[in-house]
Amino acid sequence: MRAFTYERASSVEAAAKAAASNSQARFIAGGTNLLDLMKLEIETPTHLIDINGLGVDKIEGTQEGGVRIGALVRNTDLAAHETIRRDYGLLSRALLAGASGQLRNKATTAGNLLQRTRCPYFYDTNQPCNKRQQGSGCSAIGGFTRQHAVVGTSDACIATHPSDMAVAMRALDAVVETVKADGSRRSVPIEDFHRLPGDTPHIETVLEAGEVVTAVTLPPPVGGKQIYRKVRDRASYAFALVSVGAVIQSDGTGQVAVGGIAHKPWRIATAEAELPRGAKSTADALLADARPTEQNRFKIDLVRRTLGAVLTEARG
């Protein structure tokens, strides 16, 4: 970890402004991801702007009948919130499938969306990695890729986005609210929030320099059976090999996003239209452009099978 200076921001706007004026600055929320990355010198900010205590930590209703989740709401509090449990069960379940109790007590909504990949080469500074060091190469391609992405990959990077929460947010049509350095606000549908790796895997979201996430909103509840199924090698405390977040209505239609297979939560409108026809055709459409490696080819089959289990559970 490099030495850094620290400030406690006085307002969201001030935080955005301070961050925009210093390319070596980072926001710190729960710190559960950022500090680990700093210890390993994968991230080397020289200045931290603490955004805790700015009042963006509330869960409240929106005018449209949905819910606004403050960026600093802790994962534990979000998962336990009455409205979330009642109307957005998928989100609560996804959160509880992630990390551990202690981590969820610290982890925040924005921090979770912005957590970085778990590609093991990304974590080893001796190894080339385009995401860590632009243009240095990708060690994973041709290496150990069991956990890596099978769809939406590029020749520069095949990493996945590891968040469980984000998969649920994607299936629930969340919108990310931000404040930019000039004080202006914008709302970004989660679909557009995370980027595919392309030639620039080090740029992971559409956030601009200094832009602060202030909240995530969810549209009015859509009902249905809400299921989060996380598949992993051990029963807890492991990232998903594949996860499926789904809202399935009684007529068989629904919304479905898949985690563990791409650089962002994976949801495809044409695939979703196949839901009433079952898991196979839905999965085929979701993974039509898949380019798996020898080691992670099983994810193709696993997505289909997991989706099958989810649809069976939804019918039951």
Ligand X SMILES: Cc1cc2nc3c(=O)[nH]c(=O)nc-3n(C[C@H](O)[C@H](O)[C@H](O)COP(=O)(O)OP(=O)(O)OC[C@H]3O[C@@H](n4cnc5c(N)ncnc54)[C@H](O)[C@@H]3O)c2cc1C
Site string for another protein, 264-303 (x = CB under 8 A): --------------xxx--x--------------x--xx-
| Segment contacting ligand SF4 by CB under 6 A, of 12-20, 59-67, 96-104, 124-132 | 124-132
Q: CB neighbours of 141 closer than 8 A, spacing ≥ 6?
A: 155, 158, 293
- Give the three-state DSSP class for 214: strand
| Segment contacting ligand SF4 by CB under 6 A, of 11-19, 127-135, 175-183, 239-247 | 127-135
| Segment contacting ligand X by CB under 6 A, of 28-36, 82-90, 127-135, 245-253 | 28-36
Site string for ligand SF4, 218-257 (x = CB under 6 A): ----------------------------------------
Q: How far is CA 159 from CA 58, 240, 270, 302, in A?
A: 32, 13, 24, 18
# residues contacting ligand SF4 (CB under 6 A): 14
CA separation for the pair 96, 104 (Å, rounded):
8
Decide: 238 and 232 in contact? Cβ < 8 Å.
yes
- Give the three-state DSSP class for 83: helix
Of the candidates 240, 73, 81, 101, the residue with the CA atom closest to the CA atom of residue 161? 240
102 is a site residue for another protein (CB under 8 A): no
112 is a site residue for ligand X (CB under 6 A): yes
Q: Answer with the entry of ligand X, ligand SF4, another protein, none that 54 interacts with (C-beta below 5 to 8 A by kind).
A: none
| Segment contacting another protein by CB under 8 A, of 79-87, 178-186, 213-221, 234-242 | 234-242
Q: How many CA atoms lie within 13 A of 290 on its CB side?
A: 25
Q: Answer with the entry of ligand SF4, ligand X, another protein, none that 255 interacts with (C-beta below 5 to 8 A by kind).
A: none
Q: Answer with the entry of another protein, ligand SF4, ligand X, none that 34 interacts with (C-beta below 5 to 8 A by kind).
A: ligand X
Strand 175-179 to 254-259 pairing: unpaired
Q: Bridge partners of 49?
A: 7, 27
Per DSSP (E only), the strands in the chain are 5-8, 25-28, 47-50, 59-61, 67-70, 175-179, 185-189, 212-218, 225-231, 242-248, 254-259
8 is a site residue for another protein (CB under 8 A): no
Decide: 29 and 52 in contact? Cβ < 8 Å.
yes
Structural tokens at position 230: 């996380």
Strand 185-189 to 225-231 pairing: unpaired
306 is a site residue for ligand X (CB under 6 A): no
Residues 175-234 that bind ligand X (CB under 6 A): 212-213
Q: Using the rule CB under 6 A, which residue among 18, 34, 90, 215 binds ligand X?
A: 34
Q: Answer with the entry of another protein, ligand SF4, ligand X, none that 165 interacts with (C-beta below 5 to 8 A by kind).
A: ligand X
Q: Using the rule CB under 6 A, which residue among 9, 67, 71, 129 binds ligand X?
A: 71
Measure the N-to-C terminal CA separation of the chain; round to a whole number of Å: 51
| Segment contacting ligand SF4 by CB under 6 A, of 125-133, 210-218, 224-232, 279-287 | 125-133
Decide: 125 and 41 in contact? Cβ < 8 Å.
yes
Name the site residues for ligand X (rule: CB under 6 A).
Answer: 26-34, 36, 51, 71, 98-99, 103, 106-108, 110-112, 114-115, 162-165, 212-213, 239
Name the site residues for ligand SF4 (rule: CB under 6 A).
Answer: 117, 119, 121-122, 129-131, 138-140, 157-159, 201
